[in-house]
A and B are shown apart, each in its own frame.
Chain A
Amino acid sequence: NAGVTQTPKFQVLKTGQSMTLQCAQDMNHEYMSWYRQDPGMGLRLIHYSVGAGITDQGEVPNGYNVSRSTTEDFPLRLLSAAPSQTSVYFCASSAQGEGTEAFFGQGTRLTVV
Chain B
Amino acid sequence: DAKTTQPPSMDCAEGRAANLPCNHSTISGNEYVYWYRQIHSQGPQYIIHGLKNNETNEMASLIITEDRKSSTLILPHATLRDTAVYYCIALKGGNQGGKLIFGQGTELSVKP
Instruction: Compute how far the CA of A95 lies from the CA of B65 in the bound complex, rounded to whole angstroms.
Output: 28
Write the chain B residue with the least CB distance to A3: B43
Q: Confirm or deny: A22 has a beta carbon within 8 angstroms of a beta carbon on chain B.
A: no
CB distance from B4 to the nearest CB of A (A): 11
- Chain A 32-64: CB-based contact to B (< 8 A → 1; otherwise 0): 110100000111110011100000101100000
Cβ–Cβ contact B87 & A94, under 8 A: no
Chain A residues in 8 Å Cβ range of B97: 31, 33, 48-50, 56
Given contacts A43-B44, A90-B44, A104-B45, contact A99 B98 (CB under 8 A): no
Given contacts A90-B43, A105-B43, A107-B43, contact A98 B100 (CB under 8 A): no
Can you show 5 pairs from A to B with CB atoms below 8 A apart? Answer: A45-B101, A48-B98, A88-B41, A96-B94, A97-B95
Q: Please, how many residues of chain A have a CB less than 8 angstroms from a CB on the other chain?
A: 35
Residues in A with CB closer than 8 Å to B46 are 101-103
Closest B residue, CB atoms, query A33? B98
